[in-house]
Amino acid sequence: MDEHGNPLGVMPSSEALRIASQRGLDLVEISPNSKPPVCKVVDYGKFNYERQKKEKLAKKHQVVMSIKEVRFNANTDTHDVEFKTKHLRQFLLDGHKIKASVLYKGRMITHQEIGRKLMEEMLQKVTDIGKIEAPPKLEGKMLVVYLVPDKHKVAAYKTRIAKEEKTAKQSDETGKEIKPAVDDVKAPDGTAVEIKKEENI
């Protein structure tokens, strides 16, 4: 194949090198595993630049989703569950995939229902923004579930929160504390005196 993409046919490598040399170009192997191998007569510097440009463009449009892990113990208290669930929600809102696990320590493995109940409670608190990739399953001494953000639910949630914040801000602005009224009166000597009106609460 020449520099314009036109096929030159099947030929020995020595002949292809001679043609490239005559044109002041390079012979670049495009598909080394095909039979016969496919080569192209090109300016290697320009070819390499275009290839790198395409790779950068493809990488730019590639969505990278990192996995965040949130681990609970089967006997984690309510406060810690709330705290960790809050982090889990934030990870989902930020677009991360989540590996949530409940660890059974010691003999707790004989009471799997405790961990399953904890996981169900946690999952109920994130269903408005995330979805379960697969049902929770036991891996060794850990009950594991994978969650991913639901794009539509996350967008709807963010829109709702933005509206609520806007409404709250407007409410704060209209409900500002009114300053006590001031009357200007004159003292017996004729000088002005300010008297603040106080309300009984």
Q: DSSP per residue over the chain, as a string?
A: --TTS----S--HHHHHHHHHHTT-EEEEEETTSSSPEEEEE-HHHHHHHHHHHHHHHHHTPPP--EEEEEEETT--HHHHHHHHHHHHHHHHTT-EEEEEEEPPGGGGGGHHHHHHHHHHHHHTTTTTEEEEEEEEEETTEEEEEEEE-HHHHHHHHHHHHHHHHHHHHHHHHTPPPPPPEEEEE-TTS-EEEEE-----
Residues 19, 23, 29: CA angle, nearest 5 degrees: 55
Output the pLDDT for position 196: 46
Hey, what are 28's tokens? 């670049």
Output the pLDDT for position 20: 84
Interhelix angle for 151-174 vs 78-93, to 10°? Answer: 100
Output the pLDDT for position 190: 57
Hey, what are 65's tokens? 């989703």
Q: How many CB atoms lie within 10 A of CB 11?
A: 13
Q: How many CB atoms lie within 10 A of CB 41?
A: 21
Interhelix angle for 112-124 vs 78-93, to 10°? Answer: 50
> Is the pTM of the predicted complex or chain greater than 0.85?
no
Hey, what are 57's tokens? 């463009």
Of 136, 145, 149, 125, the closest CA to residue 65 belongs to 149
Euclidean distance between CA atoms 80 and 88, whole angstroms: 12
Quick check: 8 and 41 in contact, CB under 8 A?
yes
Euclidean distance between CA atoms 52 and 179, whole angstroms: 66
Query: First-to-last CA distance in the chain?
Result: 92
Output the pLDDT for position 187: 52
Tens digit of pLDDT at every position of the chain (201 positions): 667 677 788 888 888 888 888 888 888 888 878 788 888 888 888 888 888 888 888 877 665 667 899 999 888 788 888 899 999 999 999 989 999 999 998 888 888 888 899 999 999 999 999 999 988 999 889 999 999 999 999 999 999 989 988 888 887 776 655 455 445 545 555 555 444 444 444
Domains of the chain: 13-60 (3.10.20.80), 67-152 (3.30.110.10)
